[in-house]
């Protein structure tokens, strides 16, 4: 538990540092002189931002988002989109062999969905919500579907699934590259509950007929685990 709070504190300190007004060192190559100056940041007064998170495709999500201003220091953000199994980091988990059962089993790509809602608190930038450092509790649900194929062709294809429910605390910084385009960087930590339903091939032998009867053997398991989040969102404000 101490390590969790330490991680949360570290994320907050690092990302809030990015939210501060930056000072940069400029070297004039003509005169050789060195001087410091402040880098100006763009603050906008947008009421909403449409977002896309390209890095989430690594975990099989096509992630779209919408953030809406509530008041001068807070907003609400929704994320939604389809999930694809056997994409990015999900490939390793979604393929396996069953040599002891005498057949090879493969999990094939399936379509699911996810959705999340988060509240954002912007403590800095003089009430300019949607700008700078923020803290955001997020609740997320994700369904991953996949097909299961028996290469021995003793069984027809079947389907499996994974259900994920996460609660995380995210820390991030939203910067505006222009009056209309934003870059949102975040990281976080939390807890997740996951339930999995998978199938292996199995068979029973009838001594009277000398025939094997094949069937799908269901394997279900669930549990709670520590969850880490992180990514980049590209936004269009209005």
**Do residues 233 and 52 touch, judged by C-beta distance below 8 A?**
yes
Would you state the pLDDT for residue 119? 98
- pTM value? 0.77
Alpha-carbon span 137 to 143, nearest angstrom: 20
**Do residues 67 and 48 touch, judged by C-beta distance below 8 A?**
yes
CA 123, distance to chain mean position in Å, is 24
Alpha-carbon span 188 to 154, nearest angstrom: 46
Mean pLDDT of the chain: 82
Other CB atoms within a 10 A radius of the CB of residue 92 amount to 9
Q: What is the tens place of the pLDDT at every residue in 79-136?
A: 999 999 988 766 544 444 444 444 578 888 999 999 999 999 999 866 678 999 999 9
Would you state the pLDDT for residue 107? 87
Would you state the pLDDT for residue 46? 86
Residue 231 has pLDDT above 50, yes or no: yes
Q: Point out the least confidently predicted range of 29-43, 138-152, 211-225.
A: 29-43
Q: What is the tens place of the pLDDT at every residue in 14-70?
A: 444 444 444 444 434 345 555 555 556 677 888 999 999 999 999 999 999 999 999
Alpha-carbon span 83 to 92, nearest angstrom: 16
Other CB atoms within a 10 A radius of the CB of residue 153 amount to 10
Alpha-carbon span 12 to 219, nearest angstrom: 40
């Amino acid at each position: 538990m101490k390590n969790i709070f330490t991680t949360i504190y570290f994320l907050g300190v690092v990302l809030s540092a990015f939210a501060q007004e930056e000072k940069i060192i400029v070297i004039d190559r003509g005169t050789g002189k060195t001087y410091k100056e402040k880098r100006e940041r763009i603050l906008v007064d947008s009421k909403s931002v449409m977002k896309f998170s390209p890095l989430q495709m690594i975990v099989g999500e096509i992630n779209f988002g919408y953030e809406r201003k509530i008041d001068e220091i807070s907003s609400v953000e929704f994320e939604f989109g389809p999930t694809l199994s056997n994409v990015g980091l999900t490939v390793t988990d979604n393929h396996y062999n069953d040599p002891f059962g005498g057949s090879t089993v493969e999990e094939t790509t399936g379509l699911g969905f996810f959705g999340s809602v988060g509240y954002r608190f912007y403590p800095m930038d003089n009430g300019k919500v949607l700008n700078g450092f923020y803290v955001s509790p997020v609740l997320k649900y994700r369904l991953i579907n996949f097909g299961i194929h028996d290469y021995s062709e003793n069984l027809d294809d079947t389907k499996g699934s994974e259900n994920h429910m996460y609660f995380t605390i995210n820390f991030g910084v939203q910067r505006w590259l222009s009056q209309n385009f934003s870059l949102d960087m975040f990281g976080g930590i939390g807890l997740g509950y996951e339930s999995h339903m998978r199938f292996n091939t199995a068979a029973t032998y009838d001594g009277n007929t000398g025939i094997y009867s094949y069937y799908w053997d269901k394997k279900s398991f669930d549990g709670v685990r520590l969850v880490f989040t992180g990514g980049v969102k590209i936004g269009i404000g209005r």
